[in-house]
C-alpha cells in the first residue's frame, strides 16, 4: 500500500484551488477533492508497517497553526516544467511539523522521500504541455491567494493508482493541540 502524510484541505479551499483548473493543453489536472499539502511521502509499505507508522505519528504532540496558500509555480525548470503547484508559505510551524513527522516515521524503520521539503498543493502535471501556456498561467495566477486555514490535524493517507488518477483514502487522522494563548 502507498502511504503519505498530509494536511487535508477544507471544501472552501478545495473549491478555490479547483477554480484554477484550465487553460493549459495536455495538463493532467488533479481533482479538486484530492487537494492536500503533503508533509511526507512514504511510498509502498506492507500492512503491519502501516500500524507502526500510525502509532508513531499518534505520539506527536504539536500545536495547531495557521497556513497560507498563495501564488503558483512549477517544479522542473522554467523551460521544461513538470508539475504546477499552488504555494504554501513555508513557516517555521509547518517545517517543524514536517520534521517531527519524518522523525516519527523513520523511527519505525520506514523510509521517507528525501527531497527537500517545499510545502505546496499540486495542481497539475504539465510535462507535455506547451511552455507558453504554462508561462501565461503562472503570470495570470501569480497573485492567487486562498483564505487562511487553521491546521488542527494531519492525516495518514493511502493512495491507489487508477486509470482515472490517484484515489486517496484517509486512513487515520491525528489532532494537533489547541494553540497556546497568552
Give the containing element (helix H, strand E) for 83: strand 81-88
Q: Cα separation of 17 and 4, whole Å?
A: 21
Q: Cα separation of 118 and 121, whole Å?
A: 10
User: 3-state class of 7 per DSSP?
Assistant: strand
Q: Cα separation of 109 and 152, whole Å?
A: 27
Q: Which of 100, 79, 75, 98 is nearest to 87 (CA)?
A: 75
Please pick, among 98, 120, 136, 141, the residue that the annotation labels catalytic.
120
Alpha-carbon torsion, ordered 21, 22, 25, 31, to 10 deg: 30
Q: Is there a catalytic annotation at residue 120? A: yes
Please pick, among 36, 127, 136, 169, the residue that the annotation labels catalytic.
36
Q: Cα separation of 179 and 182, whole Å?
A: 10
Q: Is there a catalytic annotation at residue 169? A: no
Q: Which residues are catalytic?
A: 36, 120
Amino acid at each position: 500500500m502507498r502511504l503519505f502524510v498530509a494536511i487535508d484541505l477544507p471544501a472552501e479551499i478545495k473549491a478555490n484551488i479547483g477554480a484554477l483548473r484550465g487553460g493549459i493543453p495536455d495538463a493532467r489536472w488533479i481533482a479538486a477533492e484530492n487537494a492536500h499539502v503533503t508533509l511526507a511521502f512514504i511510498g509502498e509499505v506492507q500492512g503491519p508497517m502501516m500500524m507502526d507508522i500510525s502509532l508513531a505519528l499518534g505520539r506527536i504532540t504539536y500545536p495547531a497553526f495557521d497556513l497560507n496558500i498563495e501564488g503558483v509555480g512549477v517544479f522542473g525548470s522554467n523551460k521544461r516544467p513538470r508539475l504546477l503547484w499552488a504555494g504554501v508559505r513555508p513557516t517555521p510551524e509547518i517545517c517543524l511539523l514536517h520534521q517531527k513527522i519524518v522523525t516519527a516515521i523513520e523511527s519505525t524503520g520506514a523510509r521517507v522521500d528525501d527531497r527537500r521539503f517545499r510545502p505546496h498543493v499540486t495542481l497539475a502535471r504539465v510535462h507535455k504541455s506547451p511552455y507558453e501556456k504554462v508561462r501565461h498561467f503562472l503570470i495570470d495566477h501569480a497573485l492567487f491567494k486562498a483564505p487562511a486555514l487553521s491546521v488542527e490535524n494531519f492525516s495518514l493517507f493511502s493512495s491507489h493508482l487508477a486509470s482515472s488518477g490517484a484515489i486517496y483514502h484517509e486512513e487515520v487522522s491525528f489532532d494537533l493541540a489547541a494553540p497556546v494563548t497568552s
